[in-house]
Amino acid sequence: MKGVRWRKGQIKGEELTTLKKLLCSDLTYSEIARAMNRKGKSLNNYAQKIYRKYEVKTRVGLVIKLLQNEIQHQRGPSLPQE
């Protein structure tokens, strides 16, 4: 993710994608941390970095932003009007 500095050996790639999906679920931070074999504190730090990247403040805001991005991506370029 551009704009987010991850320390060497920390969460990235497929694990980051998994975290975003889990943040968009109904699981608590503790449940997500357990599912990812992480500590709750470190998971909270990762989540806060993702929120800053997407310029949101909450998990709900993240879900909305990701849905908006998905919808825009599916639409593709708009056709010029005649």
pLDDT digits (tens, 9 = 90+) for 22-81: 888 899 888 988 888 888 888 888 888 888 988 999 989 988 988 888 877 777 665 555
Q: State residue 81's pLDDT score.
A: 56
pTM: 0.66
Contacts of 63 (CB under 8 A, 6+ apart): 23, 24
**Residue in the block written with tokens 């310029």:** 55
70, 51, 47, 35 alpha-carbon torsion, rounded to 10°: -20
CB 31 within 8 A of CB 41: no
Residue 4 has pLDDT above 50, yes or no: no
CB 36 within 8 A of CB 15: yes
3 state DSSP class of 23: helix
